[in-house]
Amino acid sequence: MSRRVVIAIDGPAGAGKSTIAKAVARRLGYVYIDTGAMYRAVALWAIRAGLALDDTHKLEELSRHAEIEFAAGASTVLLNGEDVTEAIRERAVSEAASRVSAIPGVRRAMVDAQRRMAEGASVVMEGRDIGTVVFPEADVKVFLDAQPGTRAARRIAELEAKGQQPVSEDVSREIAERDRRDSTRSDSPLMQAPDAVFLDTTGLTIEEVEEEILKVVRARVSNGKEVLR
């Protein structure tokens, strides 16, 4: 019988985490969990409820009551039963998510939910603190990064694909500000776990990054043999 496997993928905005984590999960038949979407869902609810983003007590309470679910292989995000897949990708929500995710009580609620989601299933989980805090014992840890220009270009392409016309300098500034906040907060800052494999995705194709990660999975999880399900 195969045991549960956890693959943790961390890194800054635009490093390619979502694309890669989804591809790896599909290849292995594991459940894909986008933890950034969970902080985004909390932020969206907070904005809609008119909460001040420094009201730590109310935000913690709200995050405990947020029912966040993934459907259709995580391509759909549900908040309290409502499909918020598109709404959580708004730029105002990105900014708010980075703020609410710095609140320890909000993080505790999300980390609990993330651990519950991985009970009894092999997962590919992506975020900022998966290898350091959520699953320090993960079987495979990968830290993805890319040069700032590449990360901004990817975000711009994503926004353009949605019909938006972003100003390149604004996107670069927003990413830099988010990275600064995510890396300098005191609770669970964005950080490479000492035992994570570092991969710079600048100039690499999705297939190349996916293959690198699968090599690590084969080496660590299955002694070079077929990969567990």
Residues that bind ligand DC (CB under 6 A): 13, 35-36, 39-40, 97-98, 101, 127-129, 178, 182
Minimum CB separation of residue 227 from ligand DC in Å reads 24
Minimum CB separation of residue 222 from ligand DC in Å reads 26
| Closer residue to ligand DC in complex, CB, 85/101 | 101
| CA distances, 209 to each of 32, 100, 216, 222, 223 (Å) | 17, 31, 11, 19, 20
Read out DSSP for 11-64? --TTSSHHHHHHHHHHHHTPEEEEHHHHHHHHHHHHHHTT--TT-HHHHHHHHH
| Closer residue to ligand DC in complex, CB, 101/122 | 101
The structure tokens 């989804």 sit at: 22
| CA distances, 163 to each of 4, 132, 153, 159, 172 (Å) | 40, 36, 15, 7, 19
Minimum CB separation of residue 228 from ligand DC in Å reads 24
Minimum CB separation of residue 188 from ligand DC in Å reads 7
Comparing C-alpha atoms, which of 6, 4, 19, 3 is closest to residue 199? Answer: 19
Minimum CB separation of residue 2 from ligand DC in Å reads 26
Measured at the CA of 105, the angle between CA 17 and CA 71, to 5 degrees, comes to 45
| Closer residue to ligand DC in complex, CB, 83/222 | 83
Q: How many Å apart are CA 188 and CA 107, to the nearest integer?
A: 8
| Closer residue to ligand DC in complex, CB, 182/210 | 182
Cα 91 to the center of its chain, rounded Å = 16
| Closer residue to ligand DC in complex, CB, 35/201 | 35
Minimum CB separation of residue 14 from ligand DC in Å reads 8
| Closer residue to ligand DC in complex, CB, 154/178 | 178
